[in-house]
C-alpha cells in the first residue's frame, strides 16, 4: 500500500478523521517531513476544496508542545495530573498484570472499555479494539452519547440512516435546517444551500438559539426546546386539512397515512403554538411554504434529539417529506444521517465470535452511575477516542467515580486530557495522519481511504497497535488479533451485506481514494422497515413501547429550576477536541450564556455580567450575552471546554444523565438551571492574581 511518510516535501492526499458529518477530502502540504499546511482537496465531489478553520489550524494541535510522546504512570493523586514517563514495555506489562488479576478475581466484566469517535476511522475506532475486548470478555459499551436517539427515531420511519444525496441538492428550492447549527457543524450543507439560494432557493432555520446559522437564514423560527414534534404535527394538521398532501405518493409508498390524518386533527395550530412558542400565523405560513416549494429538504440536526423525547422528535419530523411526496423529487427529502448507505462488514471487522460468553452492556451516558455501583463494580476503565470527564453528562459525578482508588484507569489519547489526569497509566496516541484507515461520512455518500502522511509522533502508537500489544501480553494468540491494518480494511470492505456498498477493492480505493455508494437514487422505494415502505404508522414502535403514530411527548419534569439549559458544541472546537489547544481556544475566546432580555432584566443581569449557573448537579460560571437570541425561559451556552479555568466552564457539571426515549440516547439539553449574577468568574480572579492567561 501507499504511504506518504517518506515524502519529505510535497502535497499528499488525506481525509479528515473528526466526528463531523462533512468528512472532507484534504490535501496535506509537507516540508522537511513535517505537515506545514492543511487544505481542502478540490477534487472531492462534495467538499470541493473547502475546509473549516479548525482543521486549517490542525498543525498547531499535531505539533503542540503538550502532545504526549511517551507512556506515563501516575505519581500524584488522581485528577491532579502528576505523571512520570515509563517505557511501553512497562506500561503494557502493568496493564496486562492488573487485568489478569482482575479477571481471576472478579471476572472480565469488571473491565469496561470507554470509547467514542475522537477518530472516525473504522479500523482504529471499531476494529482491533473490538476484537480485543471481545476476546477479553470485557463489559460492552452502548455508544449512545451522540445521535442514537435520533437515529432510532428516524429509522422507525425510514428504516435506517438513509436520506437525500447532497449532490442532488443543487436542485433543492427550500432548505429547512431543523435543530442544526450547520454553519459550525456541517459547513458544506450550508455552502450547498447558499449556492442554491443564488438560484432562488430559501433557507429556513428552526432552532432554540439564533446562532450564526439562524442569522444566515431567510427566515428564522425560534422554538421552545423539546417541542419540535408538536410543530411537525401542527404542520401535518394543516397539510392534511388544506389538502396540500400528495395522496398518490402516500398511497403507494407509505403505511398509515389515514391513521395519521385522523391523528393530527388533535394538533390544531392554536394548541401547537401554545406548546412550541411559534405564533399561529407562522405555523400556517411554514406549512404552506413547505407544500408549495419543491423540491424541499429538511436537514435534521442533533440538537432536537438531545432531549428526553429526542427520538420521537426525529421520528415525527422524518414523516413530513412523505406527506408532500418529496422523496420522489431530486434534491427533496431529508437527511438525519446518510451513514447506512456505506455500512461495512462490521462482523468481519469486529469478530463478535471471539467473545466466549455474553457480557453486560453499560450505557456510556450512565458512566457516573456505573462507576458508583457497588454490586459487580467496574474495577478497570480503558478510555480511548473520548474525554468523558468533559463530554459525559453529570460530569462531576463522573469525576467522583474516576477518583476511586480501587479503579484502575488507562487512557489512550494524544493529550493529557481531563480524563487522562485521573488515569493510572496514560498511553500516547498517534493522530489519524499517522495511520492507515477507512472512513465513511454521515452526510455524503463517499467511502475514503487514509494512508499515513507522517510517522508516529514521539513514541505514540495507534489504537490498533496498542490492542495488538495488549493481546500479545495477555497471551491471546488468535490470528484475528494479529491482523495488519491493511488486512482489517480488506475484511471490512469484503462481502458487505449492503446493496448500496460499492464493489470496492483495495486497488480502486488506492487509486480513487473516495468511492461513492451505488444505486441509491430510489432507495425510498424499498426501505429496511418491516413493510418496506415509509412507516407513518409503525407497529414496531408499538412493540417497542412507543406510540405507533408520531406524537408530542413533553420533556421529563425536572427539579424546580426556572431555565431550560441547552449547552451545545461551538464553532472552533470539535466537542472537547481543540479546547486544550491555545490557537483554537483563543479563536473561541470564552463561552457565553445567552439569555433573553426579559429574564435578564428581572435578574439584574447585563451583557458581560458574570453569571452563576447552577442546579443540584453542579455549578458553572461564564459571562452573559443578553438579547433576543433565545426565548424567555431558555439559556444557551456553546462549547465543551477543557479545564482551562478550573471547571467553571464545565457545562456537563449541570447536564442530566437521564436516558432519552430511544436508543439509550443522551438528554444533554433537557436539564434545568438557576441563573444569578455572580461577583466575578473565579478563574478570572485567579488569573488576575497570578497574572497568567491560557
- Positions touching ligand SF4 (CB under 6 A) are 16, 18, 20, 22-24, 51-52, 54-55, 187, 574
The binder of ligand MGD chosen from 385, 447, 473, 626 (CB under 6 A): 385
The CA-CA-CA angle for residues 665, 668, 670, to 5°, reads 105
Residue 392 makes contact with Mo ion by CB under 5 A: no
- HSE of 461 in the Cβ direction (CA atoms, 13 Å)? 19
The binder of Mo ion chosen from 38, 146, 423, 466 (CB under 5 A): 146
Q: How far apart are CA 135 and CA 131, in angstroms?
A: 6
Q: Which stretch binds ligand MGD (CB under 6 A): 340-348, 378-386, 511-519, 684-692?
A: 378-386
The item of ligand SF4, Mo ion, ligand MGD, none sharing an interface with residue 22, based on CB under 5 to 8 Å by kind, is: ligand SF4
Q: How far is the CB of 46 from ligand MGD (least distance, A)?
A: 16
- What are the C-alpha distances in Å from 420 to residues 145, 476, 508? 19, 27, 40
Residue 387 makes contact with ligand MGD by CB under 6 A: yes
Q: How far apart are CA 320 and CA 326, in angstroms?
A: 9
Residue 537 makes contact with ligand MGD by CB under 6 A: no
The item of ligand SF4, Mo ion, ligand MGD, none sharing an interface with residue 656, based on CB under 5 to 8 Å by kind, is: none
The item of ligand MGD, Mo ion, ligand SF4, none sharing an interface with residue 118, based on CB under 5 to 8 Å by kind, is: ligand MGD
Q: Which stretch binds ligand MGD (CB under 6 A): 135-143, 164-172, 222-230, 369-377?
A: 222-230
Q: Give the SS3 label for residue 102.
A: helix
**Number of residues forming the site for ligand MGD (CB under 6 A):** 61
Report H helices in 417-533.
Answer: 463-473, 485-492, 506-512
Residue 150 makes contact with ligand MGD by CB under 6 A: no
Question: In what helix (H) or strand (E) does residue 312 lie, and over which residues does it extend?
Answer: helix 310-317
Q: How far is the CB of 165 from ligand SF4 (least distance, A)?
A: 18
Q: How far is the CB of 19 from ligand SF4 (least distance, A)?
A: 8
List 677's β-bridge partners, or say none.
Answer: 611
Length of the chain: 694
- Contact (CB, 8 A) for 456 and 434: yes
Q: How far is the CB of 690 from ligand MGD (least distance, A)?
A: 26
Look at strands 83-85 and 72-74 and give their pairing. antiparallel
Q: What is the full DSSP assignment across 615-627?
A: ETTEEEEEEEEEE
Q: How far apart are CA 368 and CA 380, in angstroms?
A: 14
Q: How far apart are CA 522 and CA 329, in angstroms?
A: 10
The item of ligand MGD, ligand SF4, Mo ion, none sharing an interface with residue 55, based on CB under 5 to 8 Å by kind, is: ligand SF4
Q: Give the SS3 label for residue 504.
A: coil
Block residue for cell numbers 463530554: 391
Q: What is the full DSSP assignment across 108-148?
A: GGGEEEEE--SS--HHHHHTHHHHHHHHHT--EEE--SSSH
Q: How far is the CB of 694 from Mo ion (least distance, A)?
A: 25
Give whichever of 354 and 651 is closer to ligand MGD, judged by the CB atom. 651
- HSE of 135 in the Cβ direction (CA atoms, 13 Å)? 22
Applying the rule CB under 6 A, the residues between 284 and 303 that interact with ligand MGD are 301-303
Binding mask 87-126 for ligand MGD (x = CB under 6 A): -----------------------------xxxx----x--
Applying the rule CB under 6 A, the residues between 601 and 660 that interact with ligand MGD are 636, 640, 651-652, 655
Q: Which stretch binds Mo ion (CB under 5 A): 81-89, 146-154, 170-178, 404-412?
A: 146-154
Q: How far is the CB of 145 from Mo ion (least distance, A)?
A: 7
- Contact (CB, 8 A) for 437 and 422: no
Residue 569 makes contact with ligand MGD by CB under 6 A: yes
Q: How far apart are CA 156 and CA 397, in angstroms?
A: 34
Residue 146 makes contact with ligand MGD by CB under 6 A: yes
Residue 384 makes contact with ligand MGD by CB under 6 A: yes
Q: How far is the CB of 22 from ligand MGD (least distance, A)?
A: 8
CA 160 to chain centre: 17
The item of ligand MGD, ligand SF4, Mo ion, none sharing an interface with residue 223, based on CB under 5 to 8 Å by kind, is: ligand MGD
Q: How far is the CB of 305 from ligand MGD (least distance, A)?
A: 9
List 449's β-bridge partners, or say none.
Answer: 438
Q: Give the SS3 label for residue 222.
A: strand
Q: How far is the CB of 306 from Mo ion (least distance, A)?
A: 9
Q: Which stretch binds ligand MGD (CB under 6 A): 208-216, 266-274, 476-484, 511-519?
A: 208-216
Give whichever of 22 and 648 is closer to ligand SF4, judged by the CB atom. 22
Positions in the binding site for Mo ion (CB under 5 A): 146
Amino acid at each position: 500500500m501507499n504511504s506518504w511518510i517518506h515524502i519529505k516535501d510535497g502535497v499528499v492526499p488525506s481525509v479528515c478523521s473528526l466526528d463531523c458529518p462533512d468528512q472532507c477530502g484534504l490535501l496535506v502540504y509537507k516540508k522537511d517531513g513535517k505537515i506545514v499546511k492543511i487544505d481542502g482537496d478540490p477534487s472531492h465531489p462534495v467538499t470541493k476544496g473547502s475546509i473549516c478553520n479548525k482543521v486549517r489550524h490542525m498543525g498547531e494541535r499535531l505539533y503542540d508542545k503538550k502532545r504526549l510522546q511517551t507512556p506515563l504512570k501516575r505519581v500524584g493523586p488522581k485528577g491532579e495530573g502528576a505523571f512520570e514517563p515509563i517505557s511501553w514495555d512497562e506500561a503494557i506489562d502493568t496493564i496486562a498484570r492488573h487485568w489478569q488479576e482482575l479477571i481471576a478475581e472478579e471476572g472480565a466484566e469488571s473491565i469496561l472499555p470507554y470509547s467514542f469517535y475522537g477518530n472516525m476511522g473504522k479500523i482504529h475506532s471499531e476494529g482491533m479494539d473490538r476484537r480485543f475486548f471481545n476476546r477479553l470478555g470485557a463489559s460492552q459499551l452502548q455508544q449512545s452519547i451522540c445521535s442514537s436517539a435520533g437515529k432510532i427515531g428516524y429509522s422507525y420511519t425510514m428504516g435506517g440512516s438513509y436520506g437525500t444525496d447532497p449532490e442532488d441538492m443543487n436542485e433543492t428550492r427550500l432548505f429547512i435546517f431543523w435543530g442544526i447549527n450547520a454553519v459550525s457543524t456541517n459547513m458544506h450543507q450550508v455552502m450547498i444551500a447558499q449556492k442554491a439560494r443564488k438560484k432562488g432557493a430559501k433557507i429556513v432555520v428552526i432552532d432554540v438559539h439564533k446562532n450564526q446559522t439562524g442569522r444566515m437564514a431567510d427566515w428564522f423560527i425560534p422554538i421552545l426546546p423539546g417541542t419540535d414534534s408538536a410543530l411537525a404535527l401542527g404542520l401535518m394538521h394543516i397539510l392534511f386539512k388544506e389538502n396540500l398532501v400528495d395522496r398518490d405518493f402516500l398511497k403507494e409508498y407509505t403505511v398509515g397515512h389515514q391513521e395519521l390524518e385522523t391523528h393530527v386533527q388533535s394538533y390544531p395550530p392554536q394548541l401547537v403554538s401554545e406548546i412550541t412558542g411559534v405564533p399561529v400565523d407562522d405555523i400556517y405560513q411554514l406549512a404552506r411554504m413547505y407544500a408549495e416549494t419543491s423540491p424541499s429538504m429538511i436537514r435534521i440536526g442533533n440538537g432536537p434529539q438531545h432531549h428526553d423525547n429526542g427520538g420521537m422528535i426525529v421520528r415525527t419530523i422524518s414523516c413530513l417529506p412523505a406527506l408532500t411526496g418529496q422523496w420522489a423529487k431530486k434534491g427533496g427529502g431529508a437527511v438525519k444521517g446518510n451513514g447506512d448507505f456505506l455500512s461495512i462488514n462490521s462482523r468481519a471487522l469486529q469478530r463478535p465470535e471471539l467473545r466466549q460468553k455474553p457480557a453486560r452492556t453499560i450505557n456510556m451516558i450512565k458512566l457516573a452511575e456505573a462507576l458508583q455501583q457497588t454490586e459487580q463494580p467496574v474495577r478497570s476503565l480503558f478510555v480511548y477516542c473520548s474525554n468523558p470527564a468533559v463530554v459525559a453528562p453529570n460530569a462531576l459525578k463522573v469525576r467522583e467515580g474516576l477518583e476511586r482508588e480501587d479503579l484502575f484507569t488507562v487512557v489512550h489519547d494524544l493529550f493529557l486530557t481531563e480524563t487522562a489526569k485521573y488515569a493510572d497509566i496514560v498511553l500516547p496516541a498517534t493522530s489519524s495522519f499517522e495511520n492507515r484507515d477507512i472512513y465513511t461520512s454521515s452526510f455524503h455518500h463517499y467511502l475514503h481511504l487514509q494512508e499515513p502522511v507522517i510517522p508516529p509522533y514521539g513514541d505514540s502508537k495507534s489504537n490498533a497497535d496498542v490492542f495488538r500489544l495488549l493481546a500479545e501480553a495477555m497471551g491471546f494468540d488468535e490470528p484475528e488479533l494479529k491482523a495488519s491494518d491493511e488486512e482489517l480494511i480488506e475484511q471490512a470492505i469484503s462481502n458487505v451485506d449492503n446493496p448500496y456498498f460499492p464493489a470496492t477493492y483495495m486497488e480502486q480505493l488506492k487509486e480513487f481514494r473516495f468511492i461513492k455508494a451505488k444505486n441509491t437514487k430510489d432507495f425510498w422505494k424499498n426501505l429496511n422497515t418491516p413493510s418496506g415502505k415509509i412507516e407513518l404508522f409503525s407497529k414496531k414502535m408499538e412493540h417497542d413501547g412507543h406510540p405507533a403514530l408520531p406524537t408530542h411527548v413533553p420533556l421529563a419534569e425536572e427539579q424546580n429550576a426556572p431555565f431550560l439549559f441547552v449547552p451545545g458544541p461551538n464553532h472552533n472546537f470539535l466537542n472537547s477536541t481543540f479546547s486544550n489547544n491555545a490557537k483554537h481556544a483563543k479563536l473561541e475566546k470564552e463561552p457565553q450564556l445567552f439569555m433573553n432580555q426579559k429574564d435578564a432584566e428581572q435578574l439584574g443581569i447585563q451583557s458581560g455580567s458574570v453569571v452563576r449557573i447552577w442546579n443540584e448537579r453542579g455549578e458553572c460560571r461564564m459571562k452573559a450575552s443578553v438579547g433576543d437570541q433565545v426565548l424567555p425561559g431558555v439559556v444557551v451556552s456553546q462549547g465543551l471546554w477543557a479545564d482551562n479555568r478550573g471547571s467553571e466552564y464545565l457545562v456537563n457539571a449541570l447536564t442530566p444523565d437521564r436516558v432519552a426515549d430511544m436508543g439509550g440516547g443522551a438528554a444533554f439539553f433537557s436539564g434545568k438551571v438557576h441563573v444569578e449574577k455572580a461577583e466575578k468568574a473565579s478563574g478570572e480572579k485567579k488569573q488576575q492574581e497570578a497574572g497568567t492567561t491560557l
